[in-house]
Amino acid sequence: MCCNENFEERNLGEKITTSLDLSDISGMKFFDPHVHMTSRTTDDYQAMADAGIVALIEPAFWLGQPRTGIDSFIDYYSSLIGWERFRSSQFGIKHYCTIGLNSREANNEQLAEQVMEILPQFIFKEGVVGIGEIGFDDQTAAEEKYYRLQLDLAKEAALPVQIHTPHRDKKKGTQRSMDIAIEQGHAPNMVIVDHNNEETVKEVLDRGFWAAFTIYPFTKMGNERMVEIVKQYGSERIMINSAADWGISDPLAIPKTAALMKKSGISLADIELVTFRNAITAFAQSGQIDEQDFLKIKHIDQSQKYANNSILRGGQQPRLNKNSIIIS
């Protein structure tokens, strides 16, 4: 979740016309455990696939403005397991999601009650790898109430929890999120604490939780800072994500950070843990991640013919040449 209003400053800068060079990391596989694809374009999907992202997790969140009725939640959750997952598969990327009531909308108690009633319908769906993103925004009483209730639900369903930590009063909010998870009976290894920074990481790791870092321009972590964190804390239980959404964010945050880590002399084994393996280990505790599926979905042959017709099977997207002025 973003936002910044420095558009004047942004637009003043020179337009960048150079192209991105990710050759340092070509052949590597990446897993983005936090990215809101419903807000992204097909160009993003194509670029992510090209940069080596083989699978992703889309946490349920708010839409940039509050929903006004329960049906909006139902439609949103079912789009995460339906249309969006199909859209992703067209680019050879395996799509998972976490389902939950986000902290901002937990403050609309009347609606939150109704959401709690429909959540059980969704948490056992195929490819739902956790309850998320839940936790604190403003750290209100209502937020705490629905955070606790959803922690109970996660426990009952034996699902990992993906915690959003607040932008404001972050350190205390993060501590409180962990305290409450423990109070509700969760083992730290079932909890992924997201949006960490230099101030929160030590305690999160010391207490045995997973520490996720969001590489998000301007408002969250930059990736040079991330390199320093991996140098200092190593790669155990640390993972990075893009949290790309409708704000100015970067769905290539993981491959770019991997490239920067490599340039900075971090070992390939550590890079692999932070950009791929740790996220899988954490969320596979749901029993819903099978790495074979990453390959299966990749093996979509775009030119495969069916019954002698040059029909694209399964609706795979043909590649668009972005560098041509011709659109055919």
Partner 1 sequence: MPAMEWLLHKVNLIRIEDKSVQLHLSFSHLPRITSKETIVLLNEEEQQIAALMPGLAINNWTSDKLSRVWMLMQLPADEKETYIKKISGLFAAAEMNEQIALYAALPLFHYQEEWITKCEEGIRSNIAPVLEAIMYHNPYPAKFLSQPAWNQLILKAFFTEKDISLIVGINDRTNEALTLALKDYIQERLAANRSIAPEIYQLTQQIKP
Among residues 83, 187, 208, 231, the one that binds partner 1 under rule CB under 8 A:
83
For partner 1, which is the closer residue by CB, 43 or 86?
A: 86
Name the segment binding partner 1 (CB under 8 A); options: 39-47, 77-85, 205-213, 277-285. Answer: 77-85
d(CA 137, CA 276): 28
Name the segment binding partner 1 (CB under 8 A); options: 54-62, 70-78, 136-144, 258-266. Answer: 70-78
**CA nearest neighbour of 201 among 250, 238, 249:** 238
For partner 1, which is the closer residue by CB, 63 or 312?
A: 312
d(CA 128, CA 120): 12
By CB under 8 A, how many residues form the interface with partner 1? 24
Q: Does 287 bind partner 1 (CB under 8 A)?
A: yes
Identify whether the C-beta of residue 274 lies closer than 8 Å to the C-beta of residue 230. Answer: yes
**CA nearest neighbour of 251 among 85, 15, 7, 88:** 88
In the range 107-126, which residues lie near partner 1 by CB under 8 A? Answer: 118, 120-122, 124-126
Q: Does 66 bind partner 1 (CB under 8 A)?
A: no
For partner 1, which is the closer residue by CB, 142 or 312?
A: 312
Identify whether the C-beta of residue 251 lies closer than 8 Å to the C-beta of residue 40. Answer: yes
**DSSP state for residue 29 in the 8-state scheme:** -
For the CA atoms of 296, 288, 235, 239, the dihedral, rounded to the nearest 10 degrees, stands at 90
d(CA 184, CA 323): 53
Q: Does 312 bind partner 1 (CB under 8 A)?
A: yes
CB of 311 to partner 1, least distance (A): 5
d(CA 57, CA 134): 14
Among residues 63, 70, 108, 127, the one that binds partner 1 under rule CB under 8 A:
127
Return residues touching partner 1 (CB under 8 A). Answer: 74, 77-78, 81-83, 85-86, 118, 120-122, 124-127, 287, 306-307, 309, 311-312, 314-315
